[in-house]
Structure 1
Amino acid sequence: MLTASDGPRGLAVLGSPIAHSQSPALHAAAYRELGLPWSYDRAEVTPATLGDYVQSRPDDWRGLSLTMPLKQSVLPLVSSMDEIARLTGAANTILFDTDASGRRELRGFNTDVIGIVRALTAAGTSNARSVLVWGGGATAASAVVAAAELGADVVTVQVREPARAEQLIGLGHAVGLRVEIRSFQDEVSERPDLVISTLPGSAGADGGANRIVRGKGTARAAADGILLLDVAYDPWPTEVVKVWDARGGAMGRTASHNVLSGLAMLVHQALLQVRIFVTGDPERELPDEPAVLGAMLAAVGLDASGRPV
């Protein structure tokens, strides 16, 4: 475990776009609570520039957080990855480590899965037999594995182009559940126990949100107060959340009751990243971890359930 006596370390979150990211606020709060003199920045990086950026990091750098569109692009750069990253084909965390000969090596991790599970559990949803996922990218893969952790039997994935999400069927088999791929134009007739949107925050801004949040099963879920986790958080509320809330509003529901923003997931996955950067192990708890988590939640204005204070 690294301590303040080991000196400053550099870290950053990479992605495109990245200006909206709240990761710097979260990590700064964590390292301040831990008494570590570490810096954590953000950088606009694309798949084309990722390799050069990673290779140019100085020796005192400890790691990187990765968001869209880099979670899959980074895999050829790592020398090892944890089981969840291998399963999902996506890594959102890179640890700068050294091999037996003292040379730098990159270790890849996926903290999105546990981040989703912990955020949902904190919000009161610790199990779900059927899950509806919107979107088919890297975060959708994490949502499928998270659904398995919650005890799901079936996950319905809705996307614009079903052929581009077929790899999620095999992922479902690997974690013991059935994945059904459907178009947004298909009717969702059965009410899911949980809905996860992995779409960009801008999705549906052209009026398409009404085509996404549709079908009898989806409308029933909104009206019954079934939780929607929207992994986006800027802009907020998203167009998808606005339509979802309108569906629930017909039964007197409001977004604060049955919607969770991506900030909650971001906090919990970031806590696991802090574990990795400080201890080298996502399963090893931090010193006084409840205080660290509390500081991170406060940094983005959330209570223990992941909802705005």
Structure 2
Amino acid sequence: MRCAVLGDPVSHSLSPTLHRAGYAAVGLDWEYDAIRVAAEEFAPFVLGLGTEWRGLSLTMPHKRAALSLLGVEVTARARLASGVNTLVLEAGTPVLADNTDLPGAVAAVRERYDGPVTAGTVIGGGATAASTGLALCELGARTVRLLARSPERAAPTAAAIAAHPSAPRVEVLALRDGEVLGEVVVSTVPAEAQDDGLVARCADTPVVFEVLYDPWPTPLAASVGADRVLVGGLDLLVHQAVLQFELFTGAPGPLAAMRRAGERALEARRAAG
């Protein structure tokens, strides 16, 4: 059986490392690759796969395009997040579109922090901001604040979060000067966007969720001391990958084995410079 992660770019992805480690841990002789697929090639590529294909992980720019594939059941959480990161195939035909980023983010936070979440802040306004903002709602947040470089472009993300069944209050402020709110702050922006002022505004937040895993640590992650909780991008990646693994194979995802593989791969990257 074959699986892969599709994206453009995609060579940086750790997904092959994680999924292959999972296959080895449970004794599956499956393949998992990273395949660069441009946005305009996405639908023809997916619809042209052979019967040996079982699953696809999707990264940018394909998460929203996958919502419109004909004949595919879209889960409620994928519709809620307005994005798909998982396609399950039967005999090479896509049959289920899901989003494991949302429950993966919930699991990543709860692994590190068991306290209350009444409000939270998400830095950024894209697809990852939508899924992590919804995860804050799943954790109990009644108010979610978005700090976006272009607040007007964050409107679809704000609408996606506001559509959560808990009917949260969603605020959109400018990244340059918006204040951080709540017990959890999630950063979905590049490391170079994390200036000293932003780091300082996050200094009193008990939980910092940095969705990046490379480069590491980001300025925001590096600022978190022993008195605060840091949830990293590898935590998110592993938890969402475990859920994908289970959807693709039907077997329980070997979390520890997949995490160890990811840690070793990142260590090797850093050693290589």
In the TM superposition, residue 199 of structure 1 has moved relative to its aligned partner by 1.8
Matches within 5 A, 1:10-29: 10-29=2-21
1:282 aligns with: none
Between the aligned partners of 1:19 and 1:104, the Cα distance in structure 2 is 25
Between the aligned partners of 1:173 and 1:21, the Cα distance in structure 2 is 30
Change (3 A) 1:210 1:16: farther
- Are the equivalent residues in 2 in contact too, given 1:77–1:106 (CA < 8 A)? no
Following TM superposition, the consecutive aligned residue runs of length 4 or more in structure 1 with deviations greater than 6 angstroms are none
In the TM superposition, residue 127 of structure 1 has moved relative to its aligned partner by 3.4
Amino acid at match of 1:270: A
The answer to whether residue 189 in structure 2 is matched with residue 199 in structure 1 is yes
The answer to whether residue 57 in structure 2 is matched with residue 65 in structure 1 is yes
Matches within 5 A, 1:128-139: 128-139=117-128
Task: Give the alignment partner of residue 238 of structure 1, picking from 212, 218, 241.
Answer: 218
1:187 aligns with: 178
1:252-285 per-residue CA deviation (whole Å, 9 max, x = no partner) reads: x25x953222111111001110111013xxxxxx
Amino acid at match of 2:198: I
1:212 aligns with: 198
- Are the equivalent residues in 1 in contact too, given 2:47–2:93 (CA < 8 A)? no
In the TM superposition, residue 238 of structure 1 has moved relative to its aligned partner by 2.2
In the TM superposition, residue 169 of structure 1 has moved relative to its aligned partner by 3.5
Change (3 A) 1:240 1:66: same
Amino acid at match of 1:93: T
The answer to whether residue 262 in structure 2 is matched with residue 272 in structure 1 is no
Between the aligned partners of 1:151 and 1:203, the Cα distance in structure 2 is 30
1:258 aligns with: 229
1:147 aligns with: 136
In the TM superposition, residue 94 of structure 1 has moved relative to its aligned partner by 0.6
Change (3 A) 1:52 1:151: same
Task: Give the alignment partner of residue 91 of structure 1, picking from 76, 84, 98.
Answer: 84
Structure 2 portions without partners, runs of 5+: 265-273
Aligned residues: 261
**TM-score, normalised relative to structure 2:** 0.87
1:180-205 per-residue CA deviation (whole Å, 9 max, x = no partner) reads: 001112331x65200111124x542x
Between the aligned partners of 1:45 and 1:111, the Cα distance in structure 2 is 21
- Are the equivalent residues in 2 in contact too, given 1:116–1:265 (CA < 8 A)? yes
| Structure 1, 112-121 or 126-135: larger mean CA deviation | 126-135
- Are the equivalent residues in 2 in contact too, given 1:136–1:159 (CA < 8 A)? yes
Between the aligned partners of 1:105 and 1:265, the Cα distance in structure 2 is 25
1:86-119 per-residue CA deviation (whole Å, 9 max, x = no partner) reads: 1111000011136xxxx93432100001100101
Between the aligned partners of 1:13 and 1:172, the Cα distance in structure 2 is 26
Amino acid at match of 1:198: T
In the TM superposition, residue 131 of structure 1 has moved relative to its aligned partner by 0.5
- Are the equivalent residues in 1 in contact too, given 2:137–2:168 (CA < 8 A)? yes
- Are the equivalent residues in 2 in contact too, given 1:131–1:156 (CA < 8 A)? yes
- Are the equivalent residues in 2 in contact too, given 1:187–1:214 (CA < 8 A)? no
**TM-score, normalised relative to structure 1:** 0.78
Q: Could you say which structure has the larger radius of gyration? A: 1
- Are the equivalent residues in 2 in contact too, given 1:160–1:184 (CA < 8 A)? yes
Between the aligned partners of 1:126 and 1:73, the Cα distance in structure 2 is 36
- Are the equivalent residues in 2 in contact too, given 1:26–1:299 (CA < 8 A)? yes
Structure 1 portions without partners, runs of 5+: 1-8, 280-285, 303-309
Amino acid at match of 2:81: T
Between the aligned partners of 2:220 and 2:203, the Cα distance in structure 1 is 13
Change (3 A) 1:82 1:301: same
1:82 aligns with: 75
Between the aligned partners of 1:125 and 1:140, the Cα distance in structure 2 is 22
Matches within 5 A, 1:140-179: 140-175=129-164, 176-179=167-170
Question: Percent of aligned pairs with the same residue?
Answer: 36
Amino acid at match of 1:108: A
- Are the equivalent residues in 2 in contact too, given 1:191–1:220 (CA < 8 A)? no
In the TM superposition, residue 236 of structure 1 has moved relative to its aligned partner by 1.2
Matches within 5 A, 1:275-286: 275-279=246-250, 286=251
